Amino acid sequence: MKIEQFEDKGLAHFSYAILSECAREIVLIDPARNPQQYYDYAKANEANIVAVIETHPHADFVSSHLEIAQATGAVIRVSKLLAADYAHEAFDEGDAFTVGKLTFRALNTPGHSPDSLSIVLSREGKDVAVFTGDTLFIGDVGRPDLRENAGNLTAKREELAQQMYHSLREKLMPLAADVLVYPAHGAGSLCGKALSGANSSTIGAEKIGNPMLRAMSEEDFVKELLADQPFIPKYFGYDVALNKAGAPAFAPSVQQVPRLASGAALEAGAVVIDTRPAAEFKKGHVNGAINIQQGGKFETWLGSIVGPEESFYLIAADEATREDLIQKTAKIGYEPLIKGALVGTPATKATLPVLDVPTFREHPEHYTIVDIRNPVEYRDEPIFDGSINIPLPELRERASEIPTDKPVVVHCAGGYRSAAGSSIVANALPGTEVLDLSEAVKSFQTATAAH
């Protein structure tokens, strides 16, 4: 038996291939959008993919379960509660199947979503691992507030939090202490709020070290779980629906994205996502463009700023980056929304001024300061007295709340988000000087901490 873990760092997502060496057969759990890595793994091990299990209809990424099933003949297994639109076998508590000497059995573990499963892997009668999806993470548990308005089966966050309490204590904690825990996400995921940087654990270690598994009443658990959850990106509900239906095949869908010539005229009024470095963007860009830089979390911020009902142009610094960005966009199912992808900006008339940091440092009261970090960041580490907090995912809708009687300075925690934020504010407040504090914010954070 081999358990292979695949990591997508951008989405902090883990997927798994479980190989039965005697049967030369593989079971996949929660595969990512691009299936090629699983095909390569199967080929390298001279094995066939015979089953794909979805622990739930994911909100934060698009799964390749349907494409893999169509390509390999593998059976898709999901909870009957999902009411999946594609051909599948229901897999719920009491159900199990074997591959070689391995047995996979389902546990219904609602809490993150009503249709969440955990999968217990046994070898010759002994439990060896549990794949917990978004129910149990390392050091945390899944958030319960994503299915109030998404999917065929919705539930209030309080109800799901109560179910999470019982799923953890009645389904997962009774497993043997040495059972390995393999979650669907690690640190950086928006499906929880305090995930560890570790990629696996054991039931015994989590019972000792996971604060959400300590002894507490259901009431206290619900209160703690619901507090300070991160924002919900605009694309999450869209991905739930897409995963319930089954996404189109990855490579053909990516190939259908129109690649435009560098100087192509863009449709007036269309959303333009310019991914070039902030310094280049500020020197010149298409009027109205939003600067979401190519980076490790590009797809998350794209899906947080742009809603699934919008289409957009995608601008990249070079051809290789353009192809990478299209693939990142496909990870959240947004590739059909790309009106065209091109290299280099077709217009440079619009610019953004560069902030004179020493002048700002001397008289910050001469500026309207907009802090676009999340509310918890703003609360726990204040940086500037009197700043206005509008989180980046809300900025396009709320920029008109910003007073325009002074120059506006936009900042975040490290300079990545503020590039996007300043471009959004500049578009919303024409005639107002909008400045990006960028990475210089770190020097102010240090001073604040010292104070």
Q: What is the CATH number of the domain that holds 67?
A: 3.60.15.10
Per-residue pLDDT, 175: 98
Residue 185 DSSP one-character state: B
Paired tokens of 10: 């951008």
For 426, the domain range is 357-443
**One domain for residues 73 and 158:** yes
| Domain termination residue (choose one: 343, 368, 384) | 343
| Domain termination residue (choose one: 296, 313, 343) | 343
Per-residue pLDDT band at 113 (split at 50, 70, 90): very high
Domain count, the chain: 3
In degrees rounded to 5, what are phi and psi of residue 340? 180, 145
Residue 447 has pLDDT above 90, yes or no: no
Buried b (16+ CB within 10 A) or exposed e, 144-183: bbbbeebbbbebebebbbbbbbebbeebbbebeeebbbbb
Contact 212, 355 (CB under 8 A): no
Residue 352 has pLDDT above 80, yes or no: yes
pLDDT in tens, 22-74: 999 999 999 999 999 999 999 999 999 999 999 999 999 999 999 999 999 99
pLDDT in tens, 291-324: 999 988 999 999 999 999 999 999 999 999 999 9
**One domain for residues 107 and 200:** yes
**One domain for residues 96 and 189:** yes
3-state secondary structure of 346: coil
Q: For the residues 259-278, what does the mean pLDDT come to?
A: 95
Per-residue pLDDT, 448: 46
Q: Dihedral of CA 68/113/372/212: which sign?
A: negative
In degrees rounded to 5, what are phi and psi of residue 294? -55, 130
Q: Which residue has the higher pLDDT, 278 or 156?
A: 278
**One domain for residues 225 and 279:** no
**One domain for residues 208 and 266:** no
**One domain for residues 413 and 296:** no
**Residue 351 within any structural domain of the chain:** no
Paired tokens of 127: 């439990």
**Residue 349 within any structural domain of the chain:** no
**Residue 449 within any structural domain of the chain:** no
What CATH number is given to the structural domain containing 264? 3.40.250.10
**One domain for residues 78 and 209:** yes
**One domain for residues 151 and 191:** yes
pLDDT in tens, 141-190: 999 988 877 767 777 899 999 999 999 999 999 999 999 999 999 888 78
3-state secondary structure of 362: helix
**One domain for residues 231 and 255:** no
The structure's pTM equals 0.94
| Domain termination residue (choose one: 318, 343, 368) | 343
Concatenated DSSP letters for 247-270?
PPPHHHHHHTSPBPPTTPPPPTT-
